A and B are shown apart, each in its own frame.
Chain A
């Protein structure tokens, strides 16, 4: 009498474990896809930021020294796109610093905004910087959630993550240049 019951109980337990593992694998898969998307988004917003920065520098709305600084940093950031992630993050931080130095003073930004081109470019640059900040936060959020899940014993023992490399957060300085800060909303 006991054997069939034990067998049934065993099957039930195995089925429950299987269900748990499959749903955890599903969660993990979804997080990996979310990270792919957020990384793509971060990439494209970084590219956008460096191209707007180049345009700002080329437009002549900044003084020549600032323009040169920004051109140099933006160019370095664009050429580092295909390099290792860490190096790229570093060049992007340098671009943040260059923009921060060039647009530190709200008065300079106001001066740049006096021409119609400058006004549009300043808006575009502020928008691009804010989007970099947002997509980096969202990306790191996804990475943290994923790493937390991948630390679980069930994930490690059953190799639920497959061969997907452990994602890492994107660390860089993305502070909005103080001159572009309006105190309204995210800017």
Chain B
């Protein structure tokens, strides 16, 4: 099958949607499909052969944060050329309501179109402001996918209709052994925190509150904190007795994140909210690291209510320290959780998730009509198509 994927966010900037598209593209290619990805790129020279540059990204405020997207007449022309030359059997746009390539591609294409909703928002500005524009584009989607129940609710509330739930995947093979991370002492017990230091919902404060009693029980514990944010400021606020145990690593590359996961004895996810899926847990389980997580609904689901990883009461530092101590002092239980995690993570492996995506493609491509350029009634389209 010839498949076109559209990612609205810059390819050079790490992000959830971008890695979803990249993993999906790689997995589809391993299945023998021909895949072309259209995405904005800061540096087009760095792109893999299967990614086509959609234009230079600009930063715009969207959905409560800053998104790097691209638009304009020049971009529209590129989108149209890409659709014309691609001769796709199916065109799959991601985050169709984000202002940028996905919406433009929806306008410019006709035929078997599939859309995936990623984010969940209480209110979608683009749909309230540009209702007519967006609605018209949404009507073209033959198949709609949501990556989480929250994303599905957002879609149902703002666009109407329904969507199929296909969760995010993890390329489990990418988490295969790749060495230890220097900076983590192999001879000391260690636990890892991943995520923005200054984002309260990542829960570093809960972990910090538990560290005094954990280090009292495990005196040579090394606490690895990896994520962007002001480390010095955070360290100054910590209890002096635990400062010596803590190592800040800053933001890690994808590869170093895997290394860090594989180097530690326990991954702690003290998130207090805002997690609709729990991809962080799945990544840790794919790396073979035992997990201890707060009992958010999304985490309970991933960890099968504690069967595939330890759980503690959300925002309860005392419960966290109790559970952490019992795991850090029990290697057999850690090994059991690690192997339960490895088994659990198969359900989220892209190798099996891609089956469902292909089922959606098959459901919309039965007639065998390819994706074509849509020029009807669109003045902008005609101008840009030249």
Q: Which residues of A contact B (CB under 8 A)?
A: 22-23, 26-27, 30-31, 34, 37-38, 40-41, 44-45, 127, 130-131, 134-135, 137-138, 140-142, 144-145, 148-149, 183-186
Contacts and interface: CB of A to CB of B under 8 A. Distances in A.
A45 B363 contact: yes
B367 interface: yes
A144 B138 CA distance: 13
Given A26-B376, A142-B142, A148 B160 contact: yes
B164 A137 contact: yes
B153 to A, nearest CB: 16
Interface residues of B, number: 29
Identify whether the interface residues of A are mostly helix, strand, loop, or mixed.
Answer: helix
Contacts of B142: 34, 37-38, 138, 142
A40 B139 contact: no
Contacts of B364: 37-38, 41, 135, 138
Given A44-B366, A131-B362, A144 B356 contact: no
B347 A184 contact: yes
5 contacts: A27-B139, A134-B143, A138-B363, A145-B161, A148-B160
Nearest to A34: B142
Interface in B125-172: 136, 139-140, 142-144, 160-162, 164, 166-167
Given A134-B360, A141-B161, A185-B352, 6 more contacts: A30-B139, A37-B369, A142-B142, A144-B161, A184-B352, A186-B164
Nearest to A138: B143
Nearest to B353: A185
B64 interface: no
B377 interface: yes
A131 B359 contact: yes
B355 interface: yes
A40 B367 contact: yes
